[in-house]
Chains A and B, each alone.
Chain A
Amino acid sequence: MIPNLSSDKIDVRYVAKLARIALTDEEVDRFGAQLGDLLEHVNALAELDTGAVPATAQVVESRNVVRADTVRPCLDREVVLTQAPQRQGEFFRVPRIIAE
């Protein structure tokens, strides 16, 4: 069942952490209220009897798509790297990930 949201408020800070978005305190309040409103609307889905209904991920044709494992042209590395915020030689450069 869909949880009853009047007693289950969204922890916006936690969700924002999962989504990798820094929020201001003002945004936490505003988005929290707006997302709460939206979830009240979507709770209408609880009225539908979906017990025996299969889920639809994609409507038209579901099939596996494979292709031959052959070498094909790809984007030029120099062209792609011109769009990098920061590069080092032929690599994307990012802030330190592993502590010294």
Chain B
Amino acid sequence: MSEIRLVERSAAEIARDVNAKNLSAVEVVEATLAHVDAIDSQVGAYLTVLHDLARERAAGVDARVRAGDRLPLAGVPIAVKDNMCLTATRTTCGSKILERWIAPYTATAVARLLDAGAVPIGKTNLDEFAMGSSCENSALGVTRNPYDLARVPGGSSGGSAAAVAAREAAIGLGSDTGGSIREPGAFCNLIGFKPTYGRISRYGLIAFASSLDQIGPLARTVEDAALAYDAMGGYDPMDATSIDRPLEPAAPSLRTDLRGLRIGLVREFDTKALGADLDAVYRRAYDELAKLGAEIVDVSLPTADYGLATYYLIAPAECSSNLSRFDGVRYGLRVDAPDVQSMYEKTRAAGFGPEVKRRILIGTYALSSGYYDAYYVRAQKARTLIARDFDNAFAGCDLIACPAASTPAFRFNAKSDPYSMYMMDYYTIPMSLAGLPALSVPCGWVTPADGTDPLPLGLQLCAPLFAEPLLLGAAHAYERATAYAQRFAPLTAKAGA
């Protein structure tokens, strides 16, 4: 089997063949590493490629299979966003402040995937500390969209998305605070899945906004996303916010039609506002849901329009607190100074990039004396209203469908003012504030006005809390009935990058 064919296979296919001993994990990993070595200089998905560790782990997987283990992700190459710890490997968060930091332990989500037979190929690029929607805020590298190298892969989990789209891994791990898995999923024609808040342990995920952060998979098929979720999910005593109730596995719930489901279209999310091309794609997607047997109903999220304002107080407030730990004392960068106060100030000035500084400043302001009630508490109350909107909407439907992002992948440096970048998460933030499981699934293509290659769009599906099996099941039916997800990115570079 040629290398290209091997790297194009899904996680489910790889695991099946490795478990059946028709294929070895070592073969898969060698093919993947060779592919990464050949193309990642164009894509820039990885900040660190773990050649030695990947080979060692693959040999270990083969030994376990030979000893009789059946592993749900046997030999599956994975890409890990570089804000998740993996023992004895560099974990940078895309930041100068952690550029040389070696993690002393492994994140639970990563450990569970490795236990299930997955093999870590490398650590992927991200917007610094996961703050951004294009990967352009990384201090350590540029990641390009495999569908058009002149465009961004989305963010903040853009490195993991680009890696999976370029077949440099079968599954990518991302983290989603306001859309950071779903938006790059949409930009890179992948399934980008954010489970219910608390469903997957965040132990070992470097915190950005703790009431919102959630780990989830990026994959080329819904089945692969379900396999990763089933392997990672469930209670972890090391994360006090992880949910202590049994995980209902999603892989057995994958379905091929939507009969009996009511899917709500959000009255306030009129896709005409996105322009005729995108509107046509989303209208067709909604028709496709109906053709699969879903009953399409109208729902209202009257407060969702305030999601962005709410999020840009709560997330910076939490980040200003979480990132106070980066002070040059125990780990990471230190800029020397004669006294400790100026050591803190100079270290953080040199170590953080502009977006991280902006968010720390806005969060510090929103939490400061005299403004706390006006900003932070009010945002928390708005959050209650947004969550109630979803409760009301789900009284009349089983799932909600809407766009995953308001544009396809854009060109580098296209969003010069911060707020226009924040707007990218308009459709994903409300679900994050309400803690709901949501995913992006490929739903069609638009041709840019400049006539360059068509770009993928993502349909967002959202379910009630803990309804991951329903959500992934429905996404599977949509994916199977349409062929959008099967159009892979070209693997050779195009000029114009």
Q: Tell me the A residues contacting B by CB distance below 8 Å.
A: 1-3, 10, 12, 15-16, 18-23, 27, 31, 34-35, 37-39, 41-48, 50, 53-61, 65, 67, 75-76, 79-80, 82-86, 92, 94-97
Cα distance A41–B102 when bound, in Å? 39
B342 at the interface (CB under 8 A from A): yes
* B243 A85 Cβ-Cβ under 8 A: no
A20-B327, A67-B237 known; 11 new pairs, CB 8 Å cut-off, are A19-B360, A20-B324, A22-B345, A37-B419, A53-B381, A59-B387, A59-B435, A59-B465, A84-B331, A85-B329, A94-B329
Cα distance A40–B377 when bound, in Å? 17
* A56 B330 Cβ-Cβ under 8 A: no
How far is the CB of B105 from the nearest CB of chain A, in Å? Answer: 6
* A22 B331 Cβ-Cβ under 8 A: no
Residue of B nearest to A19 (CB): B364
How far is the CB of A71 from the nearest CB of chain B, in Å? Answer: 15
* A22 B313 Cβ-Cβ under 8 A: no
How far is the CB of A4 from the nearest CB of chain B, in Å? Answer: 11
One of B104, B312, B380 near A83 (C-beta < 8 A) = B104
Cα distance A92–B343 when bound, in Å? 14
Residue-wise, chain B 333-359 has the 8 Å CB interface mask toward A (1 for contact) of: 110111111111110110010100110
> Which 3 A-B residue pairings sit nearest by Cβ, starting from the closest?
A59-B435, A85-B334, A55-B380
One of A3, A50, A92 near B385 (C-beta < 8 A) = A50
Q: Tell me the B residues contacting A by CB distance below 8 Å.
A: 101-102, 104-105, 196-198, 211, 237, 240-241, 243, 303, 306, 308-310, 312-313, 320, 324, 327-334, 336-346, 348-349, 352, 354, 357-358, 360-362, 364-365, 368, 371, 374-375, 377-385, 387, 417-419, 422, 433-435, 465
Residue of A nearest to B87 (CB): A79
Question: DSSP class of B's interface residues: helix, strand, loop or mixed?
Answer: helix
Question: Using Cβ atoms and an 8 Å threshold, which residues of chain A touch B101?
Answer: 83
How far is the CB of B38 from the nearest CB of chain A, in Å? Answer: 34
How far is the CB of A2 from the nearest CB of chain B, in Å? Answer: 5
Question: Using Cβ atoms and an 8 Å threshold, which residues of chain B touch A79?
Answer: 104
* B374 A1 Cβ-Cβ under 8 A: yes
How far is the CB of B481 from the nearest CB of chain A, in Å? Answer: 32
One of B243, B320, B332, B340 near A19 (C-beta < 8 A) = B320
Cα distance A90–B199 when bound, in Å? 38
Given contacts A10-B365, A55-B381, A56-B380, contact A20 B306 (CB under 8 A): no
